[in-house]
Amino acid sequence: MNSQFEVPQVKGYDQAYQLSYHLAWDRVIATADITRQCDHAGAKLHYNSGQTLIRMDYLGREYEFRLGNGEIKCVGDDKPVPLKDQLLLLHYFNTAMGTPKTNRLITFRELPAGPVYFPTFSKRVTDPIVKKFAELPAQLTSAAETMGGKKGDFGDASVVIKAFPRVDIIVVVWQGDKEFSPQGNVLFDSNITDYLPTEDITVLSETIAWKLVRYQG
């Protein structure tokens, strides 16, 4: 497990998130070769009126890191970016190693500490997805398209969602039959831990599941 990104043991989640946020920003600012790190993350470096900007896609939208004032904004949207999403953006950028895809898919259980986190992962990610889409699997594609996702080739229905420039999340649903109950799974390229630690993969997957389940087609 990548301990440098563990949420600090501070009383109160808000305080912990804020501290983690500032630590992550400090690491961005201290990056020795920002151009190289942008390349590793699939981000783009810009300069505007003397300010350094990093632009990067996340769940179908473009976000902008403003290094001068330590802000993250969604391009074309003035609404505040939720702190959870900002942390995912920062952690992805800081962790990204630029490792090519292996094209070997793994499940959550195969991640570092995956078996430990799996009960929570199942409850918050796969179970809601199965409940929502097992009877209407075709809607899964429509829901994923709201995040720039596309139809996949697994199970009775599956989608590929480009969470970050170098991280795809594959969601799979099986309808089940008289012998087997409906099931679901989430798959990752085996290189994902070169871009996010397991804690953040859990949060990212939960964020995607929440967006899919809330879809009203």
pLDDT tens-place string over residues 70-110? 899 999 999 999 999 999 999 999 999 999 999 999 999 99
Q: Quick one: pLDDT at residue 10?
A: 41
Asked if the 105-213 domain carries CATH number 3.30.310, the reply is yes
Give percent of the chain with pLDDT exceeding 70: 94
Residue 157: partners with Cβ closer than 8 Å, 6 or more residues away:
133, 137, 138, 140, 141, 172, 173
Q: Quick one: pLDDT at residue 12?
A: 53
Within the chain, all domains assigned CATH 3.30.310 are found at 105-213
* pLDDT < 70 positions in the chain: 1-13
Residue 67: partners with Cβ closer than 8 Å, 6 or more residues away:
28, 29, 51, 52, 53, 54
Residue 10: both structure tokens together: 């501070």
Q: Quick one: pLDDT at residue 18?
A: 83
Global pTM value: 0.90
